[in-house]
């Protein structure tokens, strides 16, 4: 069975894949282009794609002789794949939930702490040779311990963030979710306007049409002036233009972003703001995590090969 792996993956993952499949592995770290997307569906039995490989409805519609039967996505988010269009053509889609939870939650706390304590701004000042020494009112930031964190989306990652905030920083946890759930720590489910009033608002919802621009100008206007917004979910959950305007006008105090609407492009206004922490999508950038994600994707592929139920079908 012919397998296309669209990006370089850790060695153990490649070895596991090659043990069971005839593997073609791209060397490029860039997403598949329009020609490659179509070739993936016509030249291979199964594909292991990832973020940025845009298998949209028009791509599926433009393939007259379909061969691929499974897109085993590397990553928990799969909004770059039109799953309805895929299902119509008999193509299954899987993802890699669970493996990403702790690493992504860690980055949420990294962004929260960096933004609250102005760590990025301080490092830039130091590297530029502008630091003149300690003094009592230099770069005063926001305290984290004992504050309120509002988590939008209480799935695996949301619960992992809640644990870190509660046990690590004695924070009060409130959350907004489609349904009541066990947060794993003392937490209160609240309305969207209420969660936006938290000292720190962390977005942990899935991507897709239902959550696109969930955080827009109206939502940002409901945040507290001292509020800090953290996004480790999907970039298009936040309207970046509205976010830049809210930061420029002081409607909110800061933001920490690991994902962006039009990756790798970033809204230019955000690049020039000292009260914004910007990371290059590091959420799962841990070797152990990326290896676990890859092995989970391969497990989905092997299940398909062996005619078994897919462990992580979406």
List pLDDT tens digits, range 65-80.
999 999 999 999 899 9
Tell me the C-alpha to C-alpha distance, in Å, between residue 72 and each of 45, 48, 103, 203: 11, 5, 21, 26
Asked if residue 224 lies in contact with residue 250, where contact means CB atoms within 8 angstroms, the answer is: no
Counted residue by residue, the chain has a size of 314
Q: Which candidate in 117, 163, 213, 281 is catalytic?
A: 281
Mean pLDDT confidence for 127-140: 96
**Per-residue model confidence (pLDDT) at position 64:** 87
Q: Which candidate in 176, 234, 290, 304 is catalytic?
A: 234
Mean pLDDT confidence for 258-287: 96
Domains in the chain and their CATH numbers? 2-99+286-305 (3.40.50.720), 101-278 (3.40.50.720)
**Per-residue model confidence (pLDDT) at position 222:** 98
Among residues 238, 246, 286, 287, the alpha carbon closest in space to that of 262 is found at: 238
Decide: helix, strand or coil at residue 300.
helix
pLDDT band at 92 (very low <50, low <70, confident <90, very high): very high
List pLDDT tens digits, range 93-123.
999 999 999 999 999 999 999 999 999 999 9
Burial of 21 (0-12, 13-18, 19+ CB in 10 A): buried
Question: Which residue in this structure is represented by tokens 């462990």?
Answer: 311
Active site residue 234: yes
Active site residue 281: yes
């Amino acid at each position: 069975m012919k397998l296309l792996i669209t990006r370089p993956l850790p060695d153990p993952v490649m070895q596991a894949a090659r043990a069971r499949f005839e593997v073609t592995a791209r060397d490029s770290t860039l997403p598949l282009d329009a020609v490659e997307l179509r070739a993936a569906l016509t030249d291979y039995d199964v594909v292991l794609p990832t973020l940025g490989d845009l298998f949209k409805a028009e791509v599926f519609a433009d393939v007259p002789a379909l061969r691929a039967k499974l897109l085993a996505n590397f990553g928990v988010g799969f909004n770059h794949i039109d799953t309805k269009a895929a299902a119509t053509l008999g193509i299954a889609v899987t993802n890699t939930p669970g493996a990403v939870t702790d690493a992504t939650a860690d980055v949420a706390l990294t962004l929260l702490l960096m933004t609250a304590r102005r760590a990025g701004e301080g490092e830039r000042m130091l590297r530029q040779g502008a630091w003149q020494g300690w003094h009592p009112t230099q770069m005063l930031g926001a305290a984290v311990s004992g504050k309120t964190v509002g988590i939008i989306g209480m799935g695996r990652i949301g619960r992992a963030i809640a644990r870190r905030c509660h046990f690590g920083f004695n924070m009060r946890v409130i959350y907004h979710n489609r349904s009541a759930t066990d947060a794993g720590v003392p937490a209160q489910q609240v309305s969207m306007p209420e969660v936006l009033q938290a000292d720190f608002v962390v977005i942990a919802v899935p991507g897709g049409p239902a959550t696109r621009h969930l955080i827009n100008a109206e939502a940002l206007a409901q945040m507290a002036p001292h509020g800090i917004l953290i996004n480790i979910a999907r970039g298009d959950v936040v309207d970046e233009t509205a976010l830049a305007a809210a930061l420029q006008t002081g409607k909110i105090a800061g933001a920490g972003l690991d994902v962006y609407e039009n990756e790798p492009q970033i809204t230019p206004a955000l690049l020039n703001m000292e009260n914004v922490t910007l990371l290059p999508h590091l959420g799962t950038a841990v070797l152990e995590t990326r290896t676990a994600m890859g092995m989970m994707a391969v497990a989905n592929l092997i299940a398909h090969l062996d005619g078994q139920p897919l462990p992580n079908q979406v």
